[in-house]
Chain A
Amino acid sequence: MAIVEDTPRELTTGQPAVAERPLGVLTRPTSTEGWKSWLTTVDHKRIGILYGAAAIFFFVVGGIEALLIRLQLARPGATVLGADLYNQVFTMHGVTMIFLVAMPLGAAFANYLIPLQIGTRDVAFPRLNAFSFWCFLAGAIFINTSWFLGGAPDGGWFAYAPNTGVLFSPSNGMDFFAIGLQITGIASLLSAINLIVTVVNLRAPGMTWFRMPVFTWMMLVVQVLLLFAIPVITLALFLLMFDRLWGANFFNVEAGADPLLWEHLFWIFGHPEVYILILPAFGAVSEIIPVFSRKPIFGYKFMIFSGIAIGFMGWGVWAHHMFASGIGPISVAAFSVSTMFIAVPTGVKILNWMATMWGGRLRFTTPMLFAVGLVSMFTIGGLSGVTHSVAPADTQQTDTYYIVAHFHYVVFGGVILGLFGGMYFWWPKVFGYALDDRAGKWNFWLMLIGFNVTFGPMHLLGLQGMSRRIQTYSSGQGFDLWNMVATIGSFMIALSVLVFVGNILQSYRTRNRRPPVGPDPWDGRSLEWATASPTPVHNFDYVPVVESLDDFWHRKWGEDEDGNIVRLATAEQIAQTGERRDVHLPSPSYWPLVVAIGLPIIGYGLIFNYWLCMVGGAIVLGGVYAWIMEPTDDPDAAHGPDGHDDHHDGDGDGNGATTDESEAEELEAPVG
């Protein structure tokens, strides 16, 4: 593909080149504006926004499912949902909130922030990144179409086989679960590989491992967990699918199958998954608290190593989900002890956040409130978690609302509070205007109180013996009052989410009437604040050189002889302006979307008609080859001899090529 560009072009814009060429199959799309450009974008920031938007959409869907559950349980003997529908709704609530909200919301932050925090222009494989998003969305829509195609999954998000076999779950729901989660699993796995390579290979000069922000570190741990956890759940889902579709015997107890096989496989994935969910929120809070305490994070290396320790130990505690399943006293004792141990690194984090705040100049803005909310609520959830590690107590708590209370305190009180804080914190960087602080505080307090009113009473219900996953209960068991209270609380949470959505709309409408946020609205510490808001398409005009942890802060502030903090420069003086227009960026591509569309078609084919598999397979295969064959970048960019055309996505954006010619390319490229 030695396309030589003779006429030098004017270098005018920072946008990818608009090549005047008829669109052939293997040319790359060129538009960077309008809704269509979102379908072909490979920009990590836009992909991050897409992940976030999808996650918030599914948050509303999963929230409506939660409200239906609470309406059904508000009073004894209610008939809002029948038993069958109730099973589907609580299953889909769990599946949606875990796989379609918490995971993509984490991915949204990872995608947007990791390249910025390590000072690079994009992820290592931009097209693969786009594919990860579309693949996730395809899987998410696929699972949700089950509502209209014979019934949603009804075996719980944990999908214990043999209970999820055809015998006990005859609708196609669990097939949608098994296949849909395989599709979202592909997305998570590829995204994990992509982000690991990005962090390992694309850190800015001087950005050593121990100068990386805690957020990036935690995200790296999450990606490593995903890398090793996803294949395990993929395998389990394959076995379930083979059983259900083709009559294999893996969970056929009649044929002698071990009913614990699924539980083991699922929880070997499932427990690391818990840390996959929470560590992004821990990372976000570790960025928010130092900024609003005006102190560096206390025990930076302790934070990193405790995150890594959680990542390792997360693999050795899975059977604490199975204390009541009869795995034997030795196993129970071992997993009980390891579960108590894993509370230690988590405790280190909690104490370090508090020590960071101690003596700091605290500013209780909305993000800080959410961060402190996480620290306190997660601690409650963590403590009830330690009570589960005591196996004799756990056998009492298993399958009661006490468990439901516990995991909502860690997942809602941890993940949701932390990442809502993250949204308020990074919103100005992403969109160029801040969310309103007053409405934000309403949002926070409504959410915090609603959350406690909803899930606090569930501890009591559980200890009183109310079983989870039941569709209804009879009066006179002492469950009536607290169930009604929990339902009221759930509507307060719904109200707080409405406030959040209203805040977004209102802040967007009034964005021009308020003062511009500037590059660094919060006096931030990490590199994302060292460039303009909203982030320019090329991230940084010049690749930053990093000299210390919290490098950006140390360029703004120093110490005089008496140890007083003095300002060296304002953020506006040292932040990059984002005005450079000659940065070569990877071109958009159609093929990630095309390949992702093929996958659910294969899924429908497996369930309904094998001919569809042929169609889907053809789309995937054709898409993959078109992906490989399409020019690395816009067709008019001179790209020297062939050799780095297919996989080298990042070629032009300053990371892939190492040869001398890449310098020349940069100049010749018409991109501006």
Chain B
Amino acid sequence: MEHGDEHHRSTPLSHEKLAMWAFLGSECLLFGGLISTYMLYKNKLPEGTAISPGELFDIPFTSVTTFVLLMSSLTMVLSVSSITRGDLRRNRVWLLTTALLGAVFIGGQVYEFTAFYNEGAGFTTNLWSSAFFTLTGFHGVHVSIGIVMLMSLFIGNLTGRITKASAEKVEIIGLYWHFVDIVWIVIFTIVYLFPQ
């Protein structure tokens, strides 16, 4: 038999990037299921419930944290662009900024959860509250994992493990980060903006 090239690869994409795309496809169904469950239960408040989602939500506050999260996508793009150019210093700055913006979003979520809980809507209170905390909580966990990965990249950059050659790693984690942001746009619209 003839001998093929040892380093043959069937598509121009790297394994890692393909894997991340496949994983994100899978995540679509996870969030799809969560959002469907929320939609099923969002109007099922028991008779005489004292608290309604419409009264709990502080739309201006959540809009601000949403804006912060969306801006983190911009800084993520900037960090990918800087590492592609080999600008490690700027890459550090933008990675840290992205992680911080994500942390601000999480902080806002923690504040919001606490406020809701204090107003009497805990995880176990009713159908709506279980579905709400589960959906937004799952998203919050995804953002937090993203922050951990961004900080790992940041530390990798400081210790010299992340260089221009590893630009694709930053890009792949960026894919994850943008995906999580897009999911939040859907969640924000459906949970907060749709009339209750």
* A contacts, CB < 8 Å to B: 119, 124-125, 189, 192-194, 196-197, 200-207, 227-232, 234-236, 238-239, 242, 246-250, 252, 255-258, 261, 265, 268, 530, 542-545, 555, 574, 576, 625, 628, 641-648, 650, 654-658, 662-663, 666
Q: Which 4 A-B pairs have the closest CB atoms?
A: A643-B165, A543-B4, A542-B3, A231-B30
Closest to A574 in B: B1
Point out residues on B near A: beta carbons under 8 Å. Answer: 1-11, 13-16, 18-19, 22-23, 25-27, 29-30, 33-34, 37, 40-41, 44, 46, 123-124, 126-127, 129-131, 134, 152, 160-161, 163-166, 169
Expressed in whole angstroms, the minimum distance between the Cβ of A127 and any Cβ of chain B is 12
Q: How far is the CA of A453 from the CA of B189 in the complex (A)?
A: 58
Residue on A with the closest CB to B22? A193
Given contacts A201-B10, A641-B163, 15 further A-B contacts (CB under 8 A): A124-B15, A189-B26, A192-B26, A200-B11, A231-B26, A235-B34, A248-B124, A261-B37, A268-B33, A543-B4, A544-B4, A545-B4, A642-B163, A642-B165, A656-B15
Contact A201 to B130, CB < 8 A, known contacts A231-B26, A543-B3, A642-B165? no
Residues of B within 8 A of A543 (CB): 3-6, 8
* A248-B135 Cα distance, complex, nearest whole Å: 13
For A238, the chain B residues whose CB sits under 8 A away are 134
Looking at chain B's contact residues, is the secondary structure mostly helix, strand, loop, or mixed? helix
Q: Is the Cβ of A204 less than 8 Å from the Cβ of B4? A: yes
Whether B8 contacts A642 by the Cβ 8 Å rule is no
In angstroms, Cα B7 to Cα A662, docked, is 9
A670, B32: Cα distance in complex, Å: 49
Q: Given the complex, which residues of A lie within 8 Å of B161, measured CB to CB? A: 642, 645
Q: Which residue of the partner chain A has the closest CB to B17?
A: A197
Query: CA A193 – CA B161 in complex, angstroms?
Result: 26
- Which of B3, B4, B6, B169 is in CB contact (< 8 Å) with A647? B169
10 chain-A/chain-B pairs, Cβ below 8 angstroms: A205-B5, A227-B25, A228-B25, A228-B29, A232-B33, A235-B34, A256-B127, A542-B3, A544-B2, A647-B16
CB <8 Å contact, B9 and A201: yes
Q: With A and B bound together, what is the CA distance between A125 and B17 in angstroms?
A: 12
Which residue of the partner chain A has the closest CB to B9?
A201
Q: Given the known A-B contacts A261-B40, A543-B5, are A194 and B25 also in contact in the complex, defined by CB atoms under 8 Å?
A: no
Report B118 CB to chain A, min CB distance, Å: 19
User: Is the pair B10, A203 in contact by a Cβ cutoff of 8 Å?
Assistant: yes
Q: Which residues of A contact B6 (CB under 8 A)?
A: 543, 654, 666
Chain A residues, CB < 8 A from B164: 643
> Complex Cα distance A200/B163, Å?
28
Partner of B123 from the list A119, A246, A574 (CB cut-off 8 Å) is A246
**Residues in B neighbouring A207, C-beta threshold 8 A:** 10
Complex: A657 Cα to B9 Cα, angstroms: 10
The contact of B26 among A228, A574, A646, by CB within 8 Å, is A228
With A204-B8, A256-B46 already in contact, the answer to whether A125 and B3 are too (CB < 8 A) is: no
Docked complex Cα distance between A255 and B25 (Å): 33
- Name the B residues within 8 Å of A642 (CB-CB): 160-161, 163, 165-166
The residues of A that contact B8 with a CB separation of less than 8 Å are 204-205, 543, 654-655
Name which residue of chain B comes closest to A236, CB basis: B33
Q: How far is the CA of A234 from the CA of B34 in the complex (A)?
A: 11
Smallest distance from the beta carbon of A186 to chain B beta carbons, Å?
11
A670 to chain B, nearest CB (A): 17
Q: How far apart are B56's CB and chain A's nearest CB, in angstroms?
A: 17
Q: Which of B9, B18, B134, B163 contacts A643 (CB 8 A)?
A: B163
**Closest CB of chain B to A184's CB: distance in Å?**
15
State whether A242 and B134 are in contact (beta carbons under 8 Å apart), knowing that A235-B30, A654-B6 are contacts in the complex: yes
CA distance A236 to B40 in the complex (A): 14
**Neighbouring B residues of A656 by C-beta, 8 Å:** 14-15
Do B44 and A256 touch (CB < 8 A)? Answer: yes
> A2 to B34, alpha carbons, bound, how many Å?
46
